[in-house]
Amino acid sequence: MLSPPESAAEPTTDTVVPPPPSPGGGRPARWVAAAAVVWAALMALHAWIPNSVGNAGSLFQTLLPWTGLSVPVLLVLAAVCRSRLAAVAVLAPAVVWVTLFGGALTDKRADARSGTGDLTVVSHNVDEGNTDPVGTARVLAAADADVLALEELSAASAPTYTRELAAAYPHHAVLGGVGLWSKHPLEEVKAVPIMPWTRAVRATARTPEGPVAVYAVHLASVRVSAAGFTTGRRNEAARALAAALREERAPRLVVLGDFNGTFRDAALAPVTSRLRSAQREAGDGFGFTWPAAFPVVRIDDVLVRGMTPRSAWTLPATGSDHLPVAATLGR
């Protein structure tokens, strides 16, 4: 009788163990690491990006919050390269973004929408093409603000807003395409010459806590074209507004409006360097306002001097392509 062999050869399978991540990862990984460092430097030094070519600096600063999307993209590329060097380099733009915008991820509102503070204000670019000014006026009136600033009023729509807001806002002034509506008396109303046609108005609101200088402002529009980011007229209007603000002697000042640029846009520094943004100091999130259907930038704002922002937020969408912005201010 034949017996089987003492040991039969067992079939074996080779387990393929992938190599560990390389410290360097080769040339592709070094490119990813270099891109991460360069991107982090651009983010950190955004104020120094020149506008000499297509106003690239202003465009970059306008979209600055979205630069954080580079971090997951670079992390995926680092993983594909299996490079520890690239992965560590991606920490640079991540840290810069958190340093710039980490505060926007927290709710800084003292008591949001509760009326805490001395003065509640709302600003809204109502859009000349708005087909529902009545509905828009009712959304604004429901906010129960002390002062409303409306921009991009048309000759046809202005009477509608005046009629719809009359019950809640007995005091109003409309000059050109901008207007102010107030629960408190408005005095010293005048146009502010920032452009050849009226795009800014200034008034003194006589509030129970004392007078407040209120500006409703609509800076010139900007466009992205083959020539770059066209901001020339807007920048000129900003400089003219800054000149008017330098002459302003009121101890308490609120500037409301559509600035067609963000607070971080260095080209708007003649205005923003002298004022504080209610959203940055007392908002929740980024408070993007345009386009209303899917907001990606905050070009509408509440800027103050001599007052303390208590809370800031955006109102529900109206028939406009902008969202309204609101803020409660204290002394």
Q: Encode pLDDT of 259-291 as tens digits.
A: 999 999 999 999 999 999 999 999 999 999 999
Question: Is residue 113 over pLDDT 50?
Answer: no
Residue 19 has pLDDT above 70, yes or no: no
Q: Residue 254: what pLDDT?
A: 98
Helical H segments across the chain, by residue range? 26-44, 56-62, 70-81, 84-89, 91-101, 133-142, 158-165, 232-247, 269-272, 278-282
Which tokens in the block code for residue 105? 């991820």
Residues 92 and 33: their CA atoms lie apart, in Å, by 10
Residue 25 above 80 pLDDT?
Answer: no
CA 51 to each of CA 102, 137, 231: distance values in angstroms, whole numbers, following the listed order:
27, 39, 10
Angle, helices 91-101/26-44, rounded to nearest 10 degrees: 20
Question: Are the C-beta atoms of 86 and 32 separated by less than 8 Å?
Answer: yes
- Our separate counts of H helices and E strands in the chain read 10, 14
Predicted TM-score (pTM) of this structure: 0.89
Structure tokens at 88: 């560590």
pLDDT more than 70, % of the chain: 90
Residue of 300, 321, 320, 322 lying closest to 312 (CA atoms): 300
pLDDT at 227: 82
Strand, helix or coil at 197?
Answer: coil
Q: pLDDT value at position 110? A: 82
Beta-ladder partners of 124: 150
Question: Confidence band (pLDDT; 50, 70, 90) for 155?
Answer: very high
Give the pLDDT score at 21.
54
Please report where in the chains the tokens 């046609």 appear, as a residue. Answer: 197
pLDDT of 112 reads 45
The rounded distance, in Å, linking the Cα atoms of 37 and 237 is 36
The C-alpha angle with vertex 322 and arms to 319 and 328, in degrees rounded to 5, equals 110
CA distance 249 to 295: 35
Q: Which tens digit of pLDDT belongs to each residue from 72-106? A: 999 999 999 999 999 999 999 999 999 999 999 89
What is the rounded CA–CA span in Å between residue 120 and residue 98?
30
Residues ≥6 apart with Cβ < 8 Å to 44: 96, 99
Which domains, and CATH codes, for the chain?
26-105 (no CATH), 119-330 (3.60.10.10)
What confidence category does residue 1 fall into, taking pLDDT thresholds of 50, 70 and 90? very low
Under DSSP, is residue 320 helix (H, G, I), strand (E, B) or coil? coil
Please check the confidence at residue 12 and state whether its pLDDT lies above 80: no
Beta-ladder partners of 201 = 191, 216
pLDDT in tens, 38-81: 999 999 999 999 999 999 999 999 999 999 999 999 999 999 99
What is the pLDDT confidence band of residue 27, given thresholds at 50, 70 and 90?
confident
End-to-end alpha carbon distance in the chain:
107
Provide the pLDDT for residue 5. Answer: 53
Looking at residue 20, its pLDDT comes to 59
For the stretch 76-85, pLDDT in tens is 999 999 999 9
Per-residue pLDDT band for 302 (boundaries 50, 70, 90) equals very high
Q: Which two tokens stand for residue 326?
A: 């609101």
Mean pLDDT of the chain: 92
